[in-house]
Chain A
């Protein structure tokens, strides 16, 4: 019996130890269809794909509920290899190619066409057969021609431009004889605009050959260009799944972001007429994976400014650049004085403090005690907690202890004592230690990145309340970077959305979901100016 759908995923539910990440998802993909899968970070796209590919992470955490059907037959895929056997292919965001091999060798890797020879006949081993380069080249040529790429199939991958590498990956997938479904995981993230257009052209060609495509992305204009059907996930739920023709960019943007917000913030009616405390001009930060490519921003004294955006767009890089953690270029002015870049101690001297997004990697000395963690930066920066003996200065244990104890009380850090190693604390309490460390140096401007990532709800509330308190009562300027838009909208005065390393726009926390959605996907300017909808 011929089936209408190449892939059906019915009622997929998945939780990680009680935390539901996918809730009753249904997904149907027809042959030859380009199906766009959209959602914010953490919406569940990756988990869904992991299930489809039978990744070990799914099965080692208790499997999932629901059924996966391929061509109408229920399948139980338990390994990526098996998924390939079923004709599912993946085009990765990072290229999985060997640069020192030719295109043909890359395409045919581990699926080589071979000829028998004497030795292989004697030993009856396929591994000892000769490679049939001619047949392999021919196959590769065919795959490349399908994609309309005119490059020599015997060229080395290392000599190709980035855009072509992606196409070689695709060629490798379509060279697999039984391929039925191709998953593109944010394929255009590293491509230039014209390369991305090429890629979309290639996708259409492939779809024309009857291969279904699952297109994971967050660039809405590409979705409108390429997709036949659009499915939007949000917080593990299926929001909508409909043909592209029945929707538009604005609607999708709103659906991606929109959640029932209980805005706890009483929106300030009076506009603050505060002076600018920090201004960034053409800030560029060379942070791997979060590069900032020219940000201009003025931060007013006494405000809480939020920096949001999707992962990998550079929002994390801004705070790291200001603190001199990564190679930085441009101009930063604090209180009308120029900041010396790439020098962390200078940033501290300008009364900044930093809570890193990477709590375990950067934020803590995991094998040291809570009190040492809290004190060390202040010791370094301000020379606090020291006793002097002539030219030598030694740590003042009782001062450190007393301060740590008061911080433990103030921030409600749950621990067995200030001597406890921070490694043993829960995520929320570790975060409080990081915050305590930053507050100990008594900053004027506090940079907090992802303060509530991996933190339980109680601690989350306390941390946000504390930030609000610091801002309101002590007049501290707070620059908060977060992936959680709802959180930014609940405490910030203004929210800056960063896309592709630049400021896409600045919004009020009560701005519409559509605006937030469009800005996060980088389509705001295009829609408002060009009107592609």
Chain B
């Protein structure tokens, strides 16, 4: 028991231990201050699945020895470009979603390859270089979004040039995965009855019960969950492949890899490329669930919550497993979802949840970075 406790609180597991305790505390508080627990859990589930793929993008990066991918915005930009181009074609539904992903992947392949090549030139300073690469590409694309020759009226500013800050996806591929085979438990206000809807959109329900006559109490976003776990499985399979094993060996011990005839530089490029590709798909999944595309400065800090999530899950800057992604994303997103309403009940004014998010997110990253190269 003592050993178990020690193991739980040591090294990379310490943040997970603290956040888990905190998460439980917030859950208890939510019950005490009488916030409807089902809605909170429902939101947690959705946010877990929509962020999951972005967090998964950290895995190949860490495994190939590049550390957490602070340049996640590169992949995000590729995904966003894919999305706006797909939007321009005006294909609604899954067609739009698949098209967005299909355009994103080749872009991400190119970006990721170049990014990996660059990282091979700055060995030892990957973390700081990738952070600023991420920042730079976001700024560069801020110009790009204005200059993009896209014409769709729902996407461009009504006056002047360029794309909008926020693009509504309702008429495109918004919520496609979330609603696919979803279960929605709806409370009808008048009667108090609980009705179950299968594979229906929110719009369908609100049309059925206009003027908020019914609220969705609990959603199981089946399609979103399937997509996320499918991706986890693909990464798992990759880890078991010849290439995956070689990449992990290269990340684990470059000298060992060299002595086994593995081209370490190539494996690092592979890790960077895979990470970027997964990130580009991740942002498409994120956006469809969110219902909007966020351009310009929005991707700037998107790497940080993803990094924090995988670290909370128990990964370090050198080791990461898919299990870390699942547990970490759930804890991190769960805590954020839960703490906002709880904090608002306790302290009415202020923006406590956002402050809390910053403290946890940056605190965990800082903690992980202090462990780099330590612990022999």
Which residues of A are in contact with B by a Cβ distance under 8 Å?
323, 325, 344-345, 347-348, 354, 356, 358, 361-368, 372, 376-377, 379-381, 383, 386, 392-395
Contact = CB atoms under 8 A, between A and B. Distances in A.
Nearest to B237: A394
A380 B259 contact: no
A367 B252 contact: yes
Interface string B245-275: 1100100110110111110000000000000
Sort A-B residue pairs by CB-CB distance and give the 7 closest, nearest first: A345-B261, A344-B261, A377-B260, A362-B255, A394-B240, A365-B252, A393-B242
Interface in B252-300: 252-253, 255-256, 258-262
Interface string B58-74: 00000000000000000
B193 interface: no
B249 A364 contact: no
B262 A380 contact: yes
A345 B260 CA distance: 7
A325 B253 contact: no
A358 B258 contact: no
B241 to A, nearest CB: 5
Nearest to A392: B241
A354 B319 CA distance: 27
B261 A377 contact: yes
B245 A354 contact: no
B233 to A, nearest CB: 13
Interface in B87-142: none
Contacts of A354: 259
A358 B241 contact: no
Contact of B242 (A325, A366, A386): A386
Which among B249, B256, B258 has the highest number of chain A CB atoms within 10 Å? B256
A358 B255 contact: yes
Nearest to B249: A376
Contacts of B240: 394-395
- What's the dominant secondary structure at chain B's contact region? helix
Contacts of B252: 365, 367-368
Contacts of A394: 237, 240-242
B245 A325 contact: no
Contacts of A379: 242, 245-246
Nearest to B252: A365
B373 to A, nearest CB: 14
A18 B369 CA distance: 39
- What's the dominant secondary structure at chain A's contact region? mixed
A344 B258 contact: yes
Interface of B: 237, 240-242, 245-246, 249, 252-253, 255-256, 258-262, 319
A364 B249 CA distance: 10
B261 A348 contact: yes
A351 to B, nearest CB: 13
Contacts of B242: 379-380, 383, 386, 393-395
Given A376-B249, A380-B261, A365 B241 contact: no
Contacts of B319: 367
A348 B261 CA distance: 8
B262 A365 contact: no
Contact of B258 (A325, A365, A395): A325
A345 B262 CA distance: 7
B256 A363 contact: yes
A516 to B, nearest CB: 30
B256 A364 contact: yes
Given A392-B241, A394-B240, A344 B260 contact: yes
Contacts of B261: 344-345, 347-348, 377, 380-381
Contacts of A362: 253, 255-256, 258-259
Given A365-B249, A395-B245, A380 B255 contact: no
Contacts of B241: 392-395
Nearest to B260: A377
Which among A323, A345, A372, A377 has the highest number of chain B CB atoms within 10 Å? A377
A498 to B, nearest CB: 21
Contacts of B259: 323, 325, 344, 354, 356, 362-363
A395 B319 CA distance: 20
A366 B252 CA distance: 8
Contacts of A383: 242
Contacts of B256: 362-365
Nearest to A354: B259
25 contacts: A323-B259, A325-B259, A345-B261, A354-B259, A356-B259, A361-B255, A363-B259, A365-B249, A365-B253, A367-B319, A376-B245, A376-B249, A377-B260, A379-B242, A380-B246, A380-B260, A380-B261, A383-B242, A386-B242, A392-B237, A393-B241, A394-B240, A394-B242, A395-B242, A395-B245
Contacts of A366: 253
Nearest to B246: A380
Given A365-B252, A383-B242, A395-B245, A376 B260 contact: yes
Given A325-B259, A362-B253, A380-B261, 10 more contacts: A348-B261, A358-B255, A362-B259, A377-B260, A380-B242, A380-B260, A380-B262, A392-B237, A394-B242, A395-B245
A364 B253 contact: yes
A301 B319 CA distance: 43
A376 B241 CA distance: 11
A394 B246 CA distance: 12
A243 B272 CA distance: 66
Given A394-B237, A394-B240, A381 B253 contact: no
B371 to A, nearest CB: 14
Nearest to B242: A393
A379 B243 CA distance: 10
Nearest to B241: A394
A138 to B, nearest CB: 45
B89 to A, nearest CB: 31
A380 B242 CA distance: 7
A526 B256 CA distance: 41
A389 B202 CA distance: 41
A192 to B, nearest CB: 32
A196 to B, nearest CB: 34
